């Protein structure tokens, strides 16, 4: 039965076919629970139909405002409710953002993501952020921001500035969500995602595995992503990094093979989506990352820090890419700089960095 299902899954995706948004929970569950080798084989075959399997997209993430966030996300050291010793800073000056973006471009990043610890931006916050987006675009990179919930008209203002992606994660299943966040609802999140979509900005939306959720929660979380009216163009999948001082500080690490399974399922049910390995990679072995890339992950953040969690150094990633024969995907259309991205090279760590 599992092999038949795997064949069916592969054959549902002709090269020119469009992704489905009508997955049932039973189908996602059946995919998740296939024998590991069947699941990875199906995911990899689908991955090869839509992407060069030896190419990885590289993004860099910068915290443009860190800490003092009024939200209560149980995993996040940026919440004002938890004493984690995190150094906060207000919105970063434009010039510092420009320098960080230039450095990211020199390291091979094709997308520059900027995160601010906000419940949502006030209109007055948007003006300097619009300038940051324009600066990144002028450097020939794609621009992404994560600013929390958006109100009417704000997504349009960001789109007008040239924003390529807006990140807003669902984090987990709707059932598990109230155990993780109480200050905004799942419906709030879906509403922001719809605003982003309606404004014509690409959607970056994923979550975190290992938040104490059940296997069924992981099925439901992936099912929700794959049954949005349109699949997110980018899906970051994090594994929880427990931070002392947060409510999830003692959470046990999620089984690594369960994480790889989730990547494979995501690849099958969202075949054209970029799947990004995000927080948690410092705890992954090279072998586990290799499995994730085989299963369909094709994007990473590089830089020694994500928003607030550690990340492998760019030289470690370059060494891993070399071992695996992976290359960094060049920007589709750079308006400045080189047309070919160099491999990541070691530079100093960015200033403190955070994720929303």
Q: Answer yes or no: are the C-beta atoms of 60 and 113 closer than 8 Å.
A: yes
Measured from the CB atom, the residue of 148 and 247 that comes closer to ligand SF4 is 148
Looking at 105, 111, 144, 267, which residue is catalytic?
144
Tell me how far, at minimum, the Cβ of 349 lies from ligand SF4, in Å: 20
Give exposure, 223-233, as e/b (b: 16+ Cβ within 10 Å).
Answer: bbbbbbeebbb
Q: Answer yes or no: are the C-beta atoms of 266 and 275 closer than 8 Å.
A: yes
Tell me how far, at minimum, the Cβ of 167 lies from ligand SF4, in Å: 10
Measured from the CB atom, the residue of 108 and 350 that comes closer to ligand SF4 is 350
Looking at 276, 281, 292, 329, which residue is catalytic?
276
Contacts with ligand SF4 by CB under 6 A lie at 69, 71, 73, 76, 78-79, 117, 148, 356
Tell me how far, at minimum, the Cβ of 68 lies from ligand SF4, in Å: 9
Tell me how far, at minimum, the Cβ of 201 lies from ligand SF4, in Å: 19
In sequence order, what are the residues at sequence separation of 6 or more whose Cβ sits closer than 8 angstroms to the Cβ of residue 14?
A: none
Q: Is-catalytic flag, 205?
A: no
Pairwise CA distance, residues 56 & 59, whole Å:
10
Q: What is the 3-state secondary structure (H, E, C) of 202-267?
A: EEECCEEECCCCCHHHHHHHHHHHHCCCCCCCEEEEEECCCCCCCCCCCCCCCCHHHHHHHHHHHH
Measured from the CB atom, the residue of 113 and 331 that comes closer to ligand SF4 is 113
Q: Is-catalytic flag, 73?
A: yes
How is residue 261 written in tokens?
């399974």
Looking at 69, 105, 292, 329, which residue is catalytic?
69
Q: Answer yes or no: are the C-beta atoms of 57 and 111 closer than 8 Å.
A: yes
Looking at 73, 195, 267, 329, which residue is catalytic?
73
Looking at 76, 239, 267, 292, which residue is catalytic?
76
Tell me how far, at minimum, the Cβ of 148 lies from ligand SF4, in Å: 5
**Look-up: residue for tokens 């024998």?**
35
Measured from the CB atom, the residue of 78 and 110 that comes closer to ligand SF4 is 78
Measured from the CB atom, the residue of 45 and 309 that comes closer to ligand SF4 is 309
| Catalytic annotation, residues | 69, 73, 76, 113, 144, 204, 276
């Amino acid at each position: 039965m599992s092999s038949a299902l795997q064949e069916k899954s592969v054959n549902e995706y002709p090269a020119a076919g469009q992704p489905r948004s009508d997955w049932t929970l039973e189908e996602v569950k059946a995919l998740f629970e296939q024998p590991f080798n069947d699941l990875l084989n199906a995911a990899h075959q689908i991955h090869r139909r839509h992407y060069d399997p030896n190419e990885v997209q590289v993004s860099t993430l910068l915290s443009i405002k860190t800490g003092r966030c009024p939200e209560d996300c149980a995993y996040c050291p940026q919440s004002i409710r938890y004493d984690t010793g995190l150094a906060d800073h207000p919105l970063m000056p434009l010039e510092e953002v420009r320098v960080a973006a230039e450095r990211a471009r020199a390291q091979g990043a094709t997308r520059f993501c900027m995160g601010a610890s906000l419940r949502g931006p006030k209109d007055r916050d948007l003006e300097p952020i619009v300038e940051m987006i324009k600066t990144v675009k002028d450097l020939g990179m794609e621009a992404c921001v994560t600013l929390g919930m958006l109100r009417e008209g704000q997504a349009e203002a960001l789109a007008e500035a040239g924003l390529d992606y807006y990140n807003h994660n669902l984090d987990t299943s709707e059932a598990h969500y109230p155990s993780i966040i109480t200050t905004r609802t799942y419906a709030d999140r879906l509403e922001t995602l719809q605003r982003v979509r309606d404004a014509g900005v690409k959607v970056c939306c994923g979550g975190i595995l290992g938040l104490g959720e059940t296997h069924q929660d992981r099925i439901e979380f992936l099912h929700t992503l794959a049954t949005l009216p349109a699949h997110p163009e980018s899906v970051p999948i994090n594994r929880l990094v427990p931070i002392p001082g947060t409510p999830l500080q003692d959470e046990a690490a999620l089984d690594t093979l369960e994480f790889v399974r989730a990547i494979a399922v995501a690849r099958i049910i969202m075949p054209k989506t970029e799947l990004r390995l995000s927080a948690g990679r410092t705890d992954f072995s090279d072998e586990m990352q290799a499995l994730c890339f085989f299963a369909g992950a094709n994007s990473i953040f590089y830089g020694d820090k994500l928003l607030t969690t550690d990340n492998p150094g760019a030289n470690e990633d370059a060494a891993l890419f070399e071992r695996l024969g992976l290359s960094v995907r060049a920007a589709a259309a750079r308006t400045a700089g080189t047309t070919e991205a160099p491999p990541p090279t070691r530079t100093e760590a960015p200033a403190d960095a955070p994720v929303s």
